[in-house]
Amino acid sequence: MDHFNFQENGQLFAEQVPVSAIADTYGTPCYVYSRATLERHWKAFDDAAGDHPHLVCYAVKANSNLAILSILAKLGSGFDIVSGGELARVLEAGGEPAKVVFSGVGKTVEEIEYALEAGVGCFNVESEPELHRIAKVAERLNKVARISVRVNPDVDAGTHPYISTGLKENKFGIAIEQAPAVYQQAAAYPQLKIVGVDCHIGSQLTEIAPFIEALERLLVLIDQLAEQGIVIEHLDVGGGLGVPYDGEEPPLPSEYAAALRQRLQDRPNLKLIFEPGRAIAANAGILLTKVEFLKPTEAKHFAIVDAAMNDLIRPALYSAYQAIEATDRNLQRETAVYDVVGPVCETGDFLGKNRELAIAEGDLLAVRSAGAYGFCMSSNYNSRPRPAEILVDDDETIEIRRRETFAELWKGEVVLP
Ligand code: LLP
């Protein structure tokens, strides 16, 4: 459930604020987030894990605005990061380094140094050479690196091929059969402390079964490691829980966590770590955009809007479906079927195809479920300044990132004499 609803007057509201007022004040396109929705989704995971020891590590990549991170930090969230930049954001937003898990297949020496100096809670190691690199950097800095091995359990999560991560042919993690040998190597390094086992099998999963399959494989591994004298303190199950974009019915965080906890009944001390991104942020945000032109052609009707693939790339990149609706239901408009497209010079620049909409020039549209993998994947392609981001907190609006200016487009560049 989110806090973007139509009120009786036919207007779309973000919490207590009509989105049309946000467009009037801040212009379009802009992202609008609901604080109550974000908090509700984070708490859904936290509550679902109940009294089993656990930590919800929000996946920063889904939406890394400092305001969003600071809201979650205040709730006590941990963070899953994949770069030095994400760590810097978490620290800037007031996140606790000890609650950070550091994932990603290509950690550089500089990033490892930075994370060790900051005191991150755990490196999720994705390859043997990375293990050796972390050990070397830790030795040089005279630090102990807390590590877990990201295991690839070879489970088919049944997601879009670009976002599946837990299959043998994906670049992520270490094959589960090789994991015990890698743990043995880790145990031999005095500057490494083994703390966990980790996996992440994919994103936008709409069934519980693949999560459970992965969990069961990891539990077998944990027992195997115990026989070798390696004690595992935490089990990081990654992120990946899906959201309804187009009528999907993914399990609720409570159902998902209950299924996991059931398998962990006899392991009350095995701490659970979650790395949800999308399930927390996606439906806590919309992208507001204005219709610039309606362009009927022989083959199609186009609604040309002021947001484009540079603002929200998911439709263009993954053919992802995101619901689009007019924000004022009172307007008397003719209904037609439109491709909703942006001004960018690419045929792939669309936000939605074949959408039945009753709209006219100047109308406002909301692209739903845009809070995750929206702004954070945006670019300046076609020299388009990136949009503003607005947070709604009850009846208050806060500009948490202002629209970029033209001068910011070329920040750091030079004109040659
Ligand atoms: N942990 C790790 C190690 C990950 O790689 C990811 C996402 C997550 C957690 C969070 O997954 P989530 O709960 O959000 O599913 N840009 C794509 C999604 C890419 C996800 C990459 N990894 C999209 O727009 O659909």
> What is the per-residue DSSP string for 310-326?
TT--HHHHH-----EEE
Which pLDDT score is estimated for 222? 98
Which pLDDT score is estimated for 161? 57
* 23 shares a domain with 168: no
Q: Which value does ipTM take for this structure?
A: 0.99
For 295-301, which contacts have Cβ atoms below 8 Å and span 24 or more sequence positions? 296/336, 300/338, 300/339, 301/336, 301/337, 301/338, 301/339
Specify if 294 maps to a domain.
Answer: yes
Q: What spacing in Å lies between the alpha carbon of 337 and ligand 1's midpoint? A: 32
**Contact present, 235 and 272 (Cβ < 8 Å):** yes
Which ligand 1 atom is nearest residue 282's CA?
Answer: 14
In the chain, count H helices and then E strands: 12, 21
Pair of tokens at residue 405: 């200016």
- Euclidean distance between CA atoms 272 and 388, whole angstroms: 36
Task: Give the lowest-confidence range in 34-38, 155-159, 254-258, 330-334.
Answer: 155-159
Which pLDDT score is estimated for 159? 62
For the annotated catalytic residues, the residue numbers are 345
Pair of tokens at residue 92: 């800037």
* 254 shares a domain with 111: yes
Is the Cβ atom of 166 under 6 angstroms away from ligand 1? no
Which pLDDT score is estimated for 94? 98
Q: Which of 258, 274, 290 is the last residue of a domain?
A: 274
Specify if 48 maps to a domain.
Answer: no
Q: What spacing in Å lies between the alpha carbon of 282 and ligand 1's midpoint? A: 11
What percentage of residues in the chain have a pLDDT greater than 90?
94
Each residue's pLDDT tens digit, 50-68: 999 999 999 999 999 999 9
Q: Which of 274, 291, 306 is the last residue of a domain?
A: 274
Model confidence at 189: pLDDT above 80? yes
* 332 shares a domain with 206: no
Handedness of CA 249, 340, 338, 316 (dihedral sign): negative
Specify if 127 maps to a domain.
Answer: yes
- Is 240 annotated in a binding site? The answer is yes
Calculate the alpha carbon distances from 13 to 2, 22, 32, 403 in Å. Answer: 11, 10, 10, 21
Name which residue sits closest to atom 24 of ligand 1, judged by CA: 373
pTM: 0.97
How does the average pLDDT of the chain come out, rounded?
96
Q: Which domain holds residue 391?
A: 4-33+282-409
Is the Cβ atom of 278 under 6 angstroms away from ligand 1? yes
Name which residue sits closest to atom 8 of ligand 1, judged by CA: 239
Return the exposure string of 263-294: e unless at least 16 CB atoms fall within 10 Å of the residue's CB, then b: ebeebeebbbbbbbbbbbbbbbbbbbbbbeeb
How many domains, in total, are found in the chain? 2
* 307 shares a domain with 190: no
* 294 shares a domain with 268: no
What percentage of residues in the chain have a pLDDT greater than 70?
97
Cβ atoms within 10 Å of 206's Cβ, excluding its own: 16
Pair of tokens at residue 176: 């589960």
Which ligand 1 atom is nearest residue 281's CA?
Answer: 14
Model confidence at 172: pLDDT above 90? no
Model confidence at 84: pLDDT above 80? yes
Q: What spacing in Å lies between the alpha carbon of 165 and ligand 1's midpoint? A: 9
Model confidence at 160: pLDDT above 80? no
- Segment 210-216 shows an average pLDDT of 96
CATH value at residue 131: 3.20.20.10
Name which residue sits closest to atom 16 of ligand 1, judged by CA: 373
Q: What spacing in Å lies between the alpha carbon of 202 and ligand 1's midpoint? A: 7
Is the Cβ atom of 217 under 6 angstroms away from ligand 1? no
Model confidence at 399: pLDDT above 70? yes
Q: What spacing in Å lies between the alpha carbon of 277 and ligand 1's midpoint? A: 6
Model confidence at 297: pLDDT above 60? yes
* 111 shares a domain with 241: yes
- Is 318 annotated in a binding site? The answer is yes
* 287 shares a domain with 398: yes
Specify if 73 maps to a domain.
Answer: no
How confident is residue 157, by pLDDT bands cut at 50, 70 and 90? confident
CATH value at residue 21: 2.40.37.10
Is the Cβ atom of 279 under 6 angstroms away from ligand 1? yes
Which ligand 1 atom is nearest residue 242's CA?
Answer: 15
* 268 shares a domain with 143: yes
Is the Cβ atom of 103 under 6 angstroms away from ligand 1? yes
Is the Cβ atom of 376 under 6 angstroms away from ligand 1? no
* 319 shares a domain with 233: no
- Is 113 annotated in a binding site? The answer is no
Name which residue sits closest to atom 9 of ligand 1, judged by CA: 239
Specify if 226 maps to a domain.
Answer: yes
Specify if 225 maps to a domain.
Answer: yes
Token look-up 């656990």 returns: 54
* 111 shares a domain with 260: yes
Name which residue sits closest to atom 23 of ligand 1, judged by CA: 373
- Segment 222-238 shows an average pLDDT of 98
Which pLDDT score is estimated for 63? 99
Model confidence at 97: pLDDT above 90? yes
- Is 242 annotated in a binding site? The answer is no
- Euclidean distance between CA atoms 172 and 125, whole angstroms: 10
Model confidence at 169: pLDDT above 90? no
- Segment 305-330 shows an average pLDDT of 98
Specify if 222 maps to a domain.
Answer: yes
How confident is residue 156, by pLDDT bands cut at 50, 70 and 90? confident
Is the Cβ atom of 275 under 6 angstroms away from ligand 1? yes
* 187 shares a domain with 253: yes
Q: What spacing in Å lies between the alpha carbon of 361 and ligand 1's midpoint? A: 36
Q: Which of 274, 304, 337 is the last residue of a domain?
A: 274
Is the Cβ atom of 236 under 6 angstroms away from ligand 1? no
Model confidence at 48: pLDDT above 80? yes
Is the Cβ atom of 261 under 6 angstroms away from ligand 1? no
Query: How many residues are recorded in the chain?
Result: 417
Each residue's pLDDT tens digit, 232-290: 999 999 999 999 999 999 999 999 999 999 999 999 999 999 999 999 999 999 999 99
- Is 346 annotated in a binding site? The answer is yes
Which ligand 1 atom is nearest residue 104's CA?
Answer: 3
Specify if 80 maps to a domain.
Answer: no
* 188 shares a domain with 136: yes
Q: Which of 63, 243, 275 to probe ligand 1 with, by most ligand atoms within 8 A of CB? A: 275
